[in-house]
Structure 1
Amino acid sequence: MTQENIISHSKALIIKISIITGWTIPDDLDVKRILFDQFAKKIFETYASLNVQEVEYAIRNNGTQIKDWGKSINLSLIDEALQPYLIKRSEIRKLEESSDQPKCLAAPIEPVNYPELFETVRNIFLKTGLVGLIPTPLYDFLDSTKELELTMEEKTAIRVHVEKRLVHEAEQEGLKAVKELRQLKKDDHRGYELRVRNECKKQAVANYFIKQNNIDNF
């Protein structure tokens, strides 16, 4: 999220956090104003890589596990709720990035349990609807096992959808994000294509989850 985006959503986020967790919002106007300001700064400085939906998801799934019911919202409680999610998110990203790196000799590692990963990611996606959390290696796994076979028409439709989504997401982030996306497409065609390809893989898996669970208007 950009700083402007965070500021515009900070009050609504704090209210939602209070509703989800039971943590109270201070009554004192000065304290409340400071809370909103410091919360926005905290999100920008530490959690800017998350979007609003991810913050809400993390609070719903981690905040309710913290045994501080009834306490006033503070930055320490926010950290306790968001840090575990950030760690899991980082692990998924590392797995995704490793699939794009050149293969080289390395120490043996425990193989990824893709059926288990599939169930975990599917459950997260069905709860959040966040395509970005789907690791691209999951597509490669489903493709290799013939679980996910797409026609050329389906692949084309997914690409069109993804490129529109990337533009829409950039527009929501602000003018800077729109310019960066346009610049990437213009000056780094290979980088742009890699990003689109990975997003298409994620979207294909998301579509598979939706179809598998017979979900309409997801």
Structure 2
Amino acid sequence: MKMRDTFIKPMHPEGRRFVAIFAAVTLLLFLVASFLGWIGVGLTIWCYYFFRDPVRVTPTREGLIVSPADGVVSLIEKAIPPAELGMPDVALTRVSVFMSVFNCHVNRAPIAGQVSAIAYRPGKFFNASLDKASADNERNSLCIDMADGRQLAVVQIAGLVARRIVCFSAKGDTLLTGERFGLIRFGSRLDVYLPDGVAPMVCLGQGMIAGETVLADLTTAEPARIGRAD
């Protein structure tokens, strides 16, 4: 990897107009006061990094479920998937990944399969790290049918700052593990509902990398992991 690749990342097309707006405002700020202009420069650079879309190396072994988002595991608990997906009314293990405004916000498919349902539901904008965000906040839910017949749900949830959920996929699409399927602007959360009987291989507070960090393994009977903060 070249040194410049450490700092310069590809930007997702969704971010181009936002960076252009930030840059235009920055020019106006320079006309008002130099120090305001430099603040604008900093915010423009932040906006560029927010919409960064780096290359990720996704493990390809069959059965691996990867994180759909960069961020931190904020919740691991039993919950019923969103009713609008039409999945069985059975509590599954839900793993929530909270994304701060400094994380990459491109969302990636946690497992390969066909999108059998997509459902958008408007809602509120509580802090995405709170438990009630899953039930009350604006969300976009996808049900993915895997090759073995099992289903997995992944839910994009808007947060306190995020006001726009973007989904690139449509019902009937076939996704690869780690494939980009959407993004959320300016702070949010992703919930993954694991198939019944599948235990997470991550712990509360663990850092996650979208498309790379293994979240669970369909082929193992290993119990849920317990971590230690150090």
| Alignment TM-score, normalising by the size of structure 2 | 0.25
Greater helix percent: which structure? Answer: 1
Greater strand percent: which structure? Answer: 2
Task: Considering Cα pairs closer than 8 Å and 6+ residues apart, tell me whether 1 or 2 has the greater RCO.
Answer: 2
